[in-house]
Structure 1
Amino acid sequence: MDQDTQLLLQGKDLTYAKKGIGIGLLAGAAWGLDGVLMGMVLGLAPFTNNMSIFAAPLVGACLHDGFSTLWLFIHNVINGKWRDYARTLKTRPAKMIILAAILGGPIGMSGNLLGIYFAGASYTAAITAAYPAIGAILGSIFLKEKISRRVWGGIILAIIGSFIVGMVPPEGSAYPHFYLGIGLAAVAAVGWAIEGVMSTYGMDLVDSDIAIGIREATSFLVYIFAILPLFGGVAYQILSDSFTTPSGWYIALIGLVGATSILSWYRAMNMTGVGRAMGLNVTFALWSVFFGWLLNNLQVTPNLIIGVVIISLGTIFTIGNPKDLVNLRSR
């Protein structure tokens, strides 16, 4: 390969790497907004009828993933990819993506929304922000991804900052089941970490847009046919009532935000690798504080400011120099 051709390919790889970093940051911002908005909606009727402390947030998760599935399908129709659903489902990588969907959707998303319901959005974000470290370790073991010391340091800083942001317990009795929420948020972190590794493996042969469409559809179907029936008529009553109140339609719009986030996350993992994409996505803890302050009167305290600074530094270290990624891809 002559020198001019090699420089041209490196330039394309650098542009690709920079684009992946931007998409990873978008995923974090959108997910931070998604969590804050879902926390606000779960405080509205019919999710506050006290019929079941677990059914209400799980119905919210079902609606969220259902509408996200719809938005992603529309996206793929517009881009002429809708026929790829059937073709992809026949392949072995699709089976891996479906399994990843169960771990990240019904397990991860349920843990996340139950955490938000019981402990609040910013606290849940602080706990679930630990998932990049878990995912990076699993990625290095199973996907043989090389993670530099700088990227490791960035991930660790971002996680430390997230804990500083969220680990001052709330005052008052707004969250009587606070520690239950923290535990469920930890379940979400593990589920998302495993999902990231498994879905990245599957996306070696599957378009990321189709992969995330299958992921959300799988999650929604598991909610409808396996999880909500566990709560009997209570869950379906809340589901039905949600469409007679503004809450259900709010979630329809939030589902668009969530679809944007997870679509961006899958693309970023495919473009930059599991460790780097997760390190960028972890900024959702920072964004949840910002959007909580902007939209939900979240009190800005010194620990929030310190945590935000540390998360920002960790993000800078995680992003690093895009040329490093080009060098890694060229080996």
Structure 2
Amino acid sequence: MKEVSKTAIIAKKKLTSNFFKKGISLALFSGLTYGMYTAFLTMGMTKGVWGDWYGANTAGLSAFVLAYLVAALANAINDSISAVWAILYSVIKGKFGDFIRCINTKPGRVMILAALIGGPVAGTAYVIALQMAGSIVVPISALCPAIAAILGKILFKQRLDKRMAFGILICVFASFLIGSTSFANGAASTKTFIGFGIAIIAALAWGFEGCVAGYGTAMIDYEIGIAIRQVTSGIANLFIVVPVLGIMTGKAGISFNLAAQAFTSGPAMGWFILSGLLSVITFMTWYAGNSMCGAGLGTACNGTYSFFGPLFCLLLLGVYGGKDGWALPSVAWIGAVIMMFGILTISMNPLDLFRRKNDMGGLTDEAA
């Protein structure tokens, strides 16, 4: 009986270990797909009518329209397509009815609030920053886990110990290291400075979203939560943010005209369809990973997009697309790796990964 019990414990330990490892794999995959989403979205903004808007003659559009309205429109199209993918997925999984029922519940309303913060605010800021300063802003926006830790302490009295504070300092150092490459030899423009500032706004909003969404996803199925998030973000971006920015230009109809041109631009829409799909995949795998290996470690693994974002932008736009300006200096790559280590330190003690492995090995040896 004792041997049977020991065998059962070993089997349970192995199952737990496999579950944990699968969670890490999913969370890491979410960081990979977020990097791909960044590159595909940016590529879409170089094709079709977007190429005319951002071309040499700017198609007669003002600097405000190009910097803010067009970038917001790109985010709105991506999130709208992402919402369609999320709804289709819920229908295929037989969860569309649950999606409808959950919208007007307390967790559903929390997810709507998180979506309004993460979609119209963070998502739009992220796209604007990319257009103004390039892929170097991706690691800056990845400061969101550090910001989430600080906001969690301030707003919800969550734990913020010395290790987490050290991880935050690592992230801040990495962001300065990355930023310094743009300002070397006085080469940085005012546009680059503004792009960096807007990337920090994205990080702040995503950090706040992480605090708020943690409650919602603890109460409802993460697949339903993601559908609520993407649908809310798509609607808010397309029918609130873009029209409001259009009104701010003094031309109320410009947002409708630009949206009609964008949605009918075939060469660009193919890339947006892919970026929208990747948006759904990255959130689903991130939330699934969090539920299997813990939110802290899952967020750290997702934060690897600080490396994968610039990498895929370089490969897709620089190498494949032959476009200049997407290569990063070696210091920026080093900073991105340091940033990932800082995020990991905030989420957990990195030595625990080795201890967990040793614990599993010790149990296996004991069983033998």
Shorter-normalised TM-score: what interval? 0.7 to 0.9
1:287 aligns with 2:304: no
> How many residues in Structure 1 have an aligned counterpart in Structure 2?
324
1:237 aligns with 2:251: no
Task: Name which of 100, 109, 115 aligns with 2:129.
Answer: 115
Amino acid corresponding to residue 63 of structure 1 in structure 2: I
Larger Rg: 2
1:129 aligns with 2:142: yes
Amino acid corresponding to residue 96 of structure 1 in structure 2: V
How do residues 66-145 of structure 1 correspond to structure 2 at under 5 angstroms?
66-120=80-134, 122-139=135-152
Give how far 1:3 is off: 6.4
Amino acid corresponding to residue 269 of structure 1 in structure 2: N
User: In structure 2, what is the equivalent of residue 260 of structure 1?
Assistant: 281
Q: Which structure has the highest helix share of the two?
A: 2
Identity of aligned residues (%): 27
* Contact 1:165-1:303 at 8 Å conserved across structures: yes
Q: Which consecutive residues of structure 1, in runs of 5 or more, have no partner in the other structure?
A: none
User: Could you tell me how far apart the structure 1 residues matched to 2:289 and 2:197 are?
Assistant: 28
The alpha-carbon distance between structure 1 residues 305 and 114, as it changes in their structure 2 partners (threshold 3 A), is closer
The alpha-carbon distance between structure 1 residues 73 and 301, as it changes in their structure 2 partners (threshold 3 A), is same
Bigger mean CA deviation after superposition, 143-152 or 91-100:
143-152
Task: Name which of 55, 69, 75 aligns with 1:55.
Answer: 69
The alpha-carbon distance between structure 1 residues 134 and 273, as it changes in their structure 2 partners (threshold 3 A), is farther
User: In structure 1, what is the equivalent of residue 323 of structure 2?
Assistant: none
* Contact 1:112-1:128 at 8 Å conserved across structures: yes
User: Could you tell me how far apart the structure 2 residues matched to 1:281 and 1:159 are?
Assistant: 18
* Contact 2:226-2:283 at 8 Å conserved across structures: yes
User: In structure 2, what is the equivalent of residue 216 of structure 1?
Assistant: 230
Give how far 1:97 is off: 0.7
Structure 1 residues 39-77: Cα deviation after superposition (integer angstroms, max 9, x where no partner) = 232234234243512110111000000111111122222
Which TM-score applies when normalising by structure 1?
0.85
User: Could you tell me how far apart the structure 2 residues matched to 1:32 and 1:255 are?
Assistant: 13
Amino acid corresponding to residue 289 of structure 1 in structure 2: P
The alpha-carbon distance between structure 1 residues 309 and 187, as it changes in their structure 2 partners (threshold 3 A), is closer
* Contact 1:20-1:272 at 8 Å conserved across structures: yes
* Contact 2:95-2:224 at 8 Å conserved across structures: yes
* Contact 1:136-1:275 at 8 Å conserved across structures: no
Amino acid corresponding to residue 250 of structure 1 in structure 2: W
Task: Name which of 19, 28, 31 aligns with 2:31.
Answer: 28
Bigger mean CA deviation after superposition, 144-153 or 282-291:
144-153
Give how far 1:149 is off: 5.9
Structure 1 residues 255-287: Cα deviation after superposition (integer angstroms, max 9, x where no partner) = 111211122222233334443222222211101
1:197 aligns with 2:205: no
User: Could you tell me how far apart the structure 2 residues matched to 1:309 and 1:118 are?
Assistant: 23
The alpha-carbon distance between structure 1 residues 182 and 300, as it changes in their structure 2 partners (threshold 3 A), is closer
Bigger mean CA deviation after superposition, 10-19 or 275-284:
10-19
Classify the secondary structure of the residue corresponding to 1:43: coil
User: Could you tell me how far apart the structure 2 residues matched to 1:116 and 1:242 are?
Assistant: 19
User: Could you tell me how far apart the structure 2 residues matched to 1:285 and 1:27 are?
Assistant: 12
Amino acid corresponding to residue 103 of structure 1 in structure 2: I
* Contact 1:126-1:167 at 8 Å conserved across structures: no
Which TM-score applies when normalising by structure 2?
0.77
Task: Name which of 256, 278, 285 aligns with 2:299.
Answer: 278
Classify the secondary structure of the residue corresponding to 2:219: coil
Bigger mean CA deviation after superposition, 179-188 or 47-56:
47-56
Task: Name which of 329, 332, 335 aligns with 1:307.
Answer: 335
Task: Name which of 37, 45, 63 aligns with 1:42.
Answer: 45
* Contact 2:90-2:99 at 8 Å conserved across structures: no
User: In structure 1, what is the equivalent of residue 366 of structure 2?
Assistant: none
The alpha-carbon distance between structure 1 residues 275 and 134, as it changes in their structure 2 partners (threshold 3 A), is farther
The alpha-carbon distance between structure 1 residues 291 and 110, as it changes in their structure 2 partners (threshold 3 A), is same
Classify the secondary structure of the residue corresponding to 2:136: helix
Give how far 1:12 is off: 3.6
User: Could you tell me how far apart the structure 2 residues matched to 1:151 and 1:212 are?
Assistant: 28
Give how far 1:13 is off: 3.4
Amino acid corresponding to residue 131 of structure 1 in structure 2: C
The alpha-carbon distance between structure 1 residues 178 and 301, as it changes in their structure 2 partners (threshold 3 A), is closer
User: Could you tell me how far apart the structure 2 residues matched to 1:150 and 1:14 are?
Assistant: 25
Alpha-carbon RMSD: 3.1
Structure 1 residues 197-226: Cα deviation after superposition (integer angstroms, max 9, x where no partner) = 211111111000100100010011112221
The alpha-carbon distance between structure 1 residues 146 and 237, as it changes in their structure 2 partners (threshold 3 A), is same
Structure 1 residues 62-112: Cα deviation after superposition (integer angstroms, max 9, x where no partner) = 000011111112222222211111121132111111101100011110111
The alpha-carbon distance between structure 1 residues 284 and 313, as it changes in their structure 2 partners (threshold 3 A), is same
User: In structure 1, what is the equivalent of residue 18 of structure 2?
Assistant: 15
